[in-house]
Amino acid sequence: MSNTDAPKNFIRQIIDKDLAAGLHQQVVTRFPPEPNGYLHIGHAKSICLNFGIAEDYDGLCQLRFDDTNPEKESQEYVAAISRDVSWLGYKWAGDIRYASSYFQQIHDCAVELIRKGLAYVDLSTPEQIREMRGWAQQPGTASEYREQTPEKALELFTQMKNGDFPDGGAVLRAKIDLASPNMNMRDPVLYRVRRATHHQTGDTWCIYPMYDFTHPISDALEGVTHSLCTLEFEDHRPLYDWVIDNCTLPARPRQYEFARLNLNYTVTSKRKLKQLVDEGHVSGWDDPRMPTIAGLRRRGYTPASLRRFCDMVGVARADSVVDMSMLEAAIRDDLNQHASRAFCVLRPVKVVIDNWEEGHEEMLTAPLHPQNEAMGTRQIPMTREVYIDREDFREEANKKFKRLVLGDEVRLRYGYVIRANEVIRDADGEITEIRCTYDPDTLGKNPEGRKVRGVIHWVSVARSQACEVRLYDRLFTAANPDKPEQGEGFLDAINPASLTVLTDCRVEENLRGVVPETRFQFEREGYFATDADSTDEKMVFNLTVGLRESF
Ligand code: ATP
Ligand code: MG
């Protein structure tokens, strides 16, 4: 899976320089998700970047949960995220790590800053603190607590830790520069009081460090050399460096920023994805329409296709929106090469072959992959009654219709040529049966002196398996759901027709018993994957992607 022949992105160029200058013995990166939701395709880019670099440079990549907001986080998310990273094909170095396991060291760094006169406890209300911070053209103003002595600050911080203040009643702030043009440097909050049970540390702490304080310390404690994050953290880098410079830490990590992955026709924000789940717009985080790793997996995407997609997208510093069709092309290429072929009739109508002997069965042989003999063959039973797709039959049609027409011939793929002679209808006029005859002299050869219209797929009535097929379209109708042409917000751009369930489909009986996530090309229909809901009685398949680009 190594991508050593990938062109060097700017981060790899920096690493090459650092290694040439002897700055590091070994490259260490990390992927630092907050366990407040499932991972999405944007995270896959960060995962491929961090783990890919570690692989190619013989370095290490750690998985570290950035878990400083206990109210929003949970063990369910920890488990889901770890599962997704593994599924993508990456192995983190050592055990899973948690920022929360460094709470004591982070606390000790806070005490060090207080002792150095670089941090103070502010008892102003959150509103007062916000007001005193000023705005871009207006420098901040000092709170009355800013000049407190280190002794007083330490006493107040100890009280914070001991639970003497209510939630929001006190914060520890760094003492940096209230006039800085960078708002992050105007005495940012380092610690706040929160009485929340933490999924890892329980009720040990009632003060929690802020992300900007936690992250550089965690990186340094883990010996991270290159701390890669998305561009919105660029303005936080001076604070990152300030923390590293002013706390006694074992290493000096550096932060580098790259552009987020944005994909059209979907949203990549955990908050919005959570809203889709919580409000029931989708069936869960792993709904096959979701841009989550779990959703894409259930939809039928392979780990290789997602890694390939991330390679294609590349890593740069300029923000851009990637076309959804690029993601679809990545999985289509993969499945075109690797997926077994099968017949599935999505909208079955019965064909009775009058000159086929009752009870007679013949096994026909078909390749599992037309271009790859090594994949072997499958046996398809031919019987007197078969199903074809309703859309493959017309009572009348011109020559452009390359399927079955009344009074004309078509080939059943890998089988015989049949002729439609008559239709039988129910009381509502709906066609219930097409009566046909077959030409026994057409197996593997063309009939003499006639040209058949085309080739269609089919399955035996008695020897096929009932199944449900779920067809998906894009979850949003707007290219940028955050700014829909109509409506106010992303929920207004939801595609009401993103899911079509066909409950009455028939698939080759060979597929009975295949496990979820087995992928197929249903010939002439698209690429499909067995869903987690699939059982032996009622198989369920998800449309992964169509045979060709449809937008
Ligand atoms: P979201 O905005 O979806 O909540 P986040 O940035 O808050 O995402 P984290 O769990 O903090 O989510 O992200 C873990 C890592 O993944 C971070 O290093 C972050 O920069 C990176 N990341 C998140 N979203 C993207 C994206 N769209 N493209 C590339 N990297 C991303
Ligand atoms: Mg984040």
Given a cut of 50, the residues of the chain with pLDDT beneath it are: 1-2
* pLDDT at residue 1 in the model: 42
What is the distance in A from the centroid of ligand 1 to the CA of 33?
Answer: 7
What is the distance in A from the centroid of ligand 2 to the CA of 35?
Answer: 10
Question: In a 3-state reduction of DSSP, which class is residue 17?
Answer: helix
At the top level of CATH, the class of 344-457 is mainly beta
Ligand nearest to the CA of 46: 1
Q: Which residue's alpha carbon is at the smallest distance from atom 14 of ligand 1? A: 33
* H-only helix segments in 163-302: 211-221, 237-246, 270-278, 293-299
* pLDDT at residue 319 in the model: 87
Beta bridge partners of 466: 506
Q: Which residue's alpha carbon is at the smallest distance from atom 22 of ligand 1? A: 43
Rounded distance between C-alpha atoms, residue 259 and residue 49, angstroms: 12
In this prediction the pTM is 0.95
Q: CB-based contacts of 469: which residues, under 8 Å, 6+ apart?
A: 344, 346, 501, 502, 505, 528, 540, 541, 542, 543
What is the distance in A from the centroid of ligand 1 to the CA of 39?
Answer: 8
Ligand nearest to the CA of 270: 1
The best mutation among 61, 230, 261, 263 to test binding of ligand 1, ranked by most ligand atoms within 8 Å of the C-beta, falls on: 230
Smallest CA-to-CA distance from 289 within 301, 306, 278, 279 is with 301
Ligand nearest to the CA of 32: 1
The three-point CA angle 26-29-34 to 5° equals 160
Contact predicate 372/384, CB 8 Å: no
* pLDDT at residue 185 in the model: 98
The three-point CA angle 509-512-514 to 5° equals 135
Q: Which residues of 63-80 are buried (b: 16+ CB within 10 A; e: fewer)?
A: bbbbbbbbebbeeebbeb
What is the distance in A from the centroid of ligand 2 to the CA of 230?
Answer: 9
Residue type for position 277: V
What is the distance in A from the centroid of ligand 2 to the CA of 114?
Answer: 27
* pLDDT at residue 2 in the model: 47
Q: Per residue in 148-183, pLDDT tens?
A: 999 999 999 999 999 999 999 999 999 999 999 999
Write the CA distances from 343 to 74, 275, 380, 393, 445, integer angstroms: 43, 38, 9, 17, 21
Tokens linked to 443:
């197996």
CATH number assigned to the domain with residue range 12-258, chosen from the 4 options 3.30.413.10, 3.40.50.620, 3.40.50.11030, 3.40.50.1820: 3.40.50.620
Catalytic residues: 34, 260, 270
* pLDDT at residue 133 in the model: 94
CATH number assigned to the domain with residue range 270-339+468-545, chosen from the 4 options 1.10.10.10, 1.10.1160.10, 3.40.50.2000, 1.20.1250.20: 1.10.1160.10
Atom of ligand 1 nearest to the CA of 273: 3
* pLDDT at residue 6 in the model: 56
The best mutation among 30, 40, 43, 66 to test binding of ligand 1, ranked by most ligand atoms within 8 Å of the C-beta, falls on: 43
Atom of ligand 1 nearest to the CA of 230: 20
Rounded distance between C-alpha atoms, residue 461 and residue 391, angstroms: 17
Question: In a 3-state reduction of DSSP, which class is residue 463?
Answer: coil
With a Cβ cut-off of 6 Å, ligand 1 is lined by 32-34, 42-43, 45-46, 229-230, 260-261, 268-271
Ligand nearest to the CA of 64: 1
Instruction: Please give the full DSSP string across 240-275, using - where no structure is assigned.
Output: HHHHHHHS--S---EEEEEPPEEETTS---HHHHHH
Over the Cα atoms of the chain, what is R_g? 31
Q: Which residue's alpha carbon is at the smallest distance from atom 18 of ligand 1? A: 229
Q: Tell me the CA end-to-end span of the chain in Å, nearest whole number.
A: 31
* pLDDT at residue 5 in the model: 54
Domain range list for the chain: 12-258, 270-339+468-545, 344-457
Q: What is the dihedral of CA 427, 428, 429, 430, to 10 degrees?
A: -110
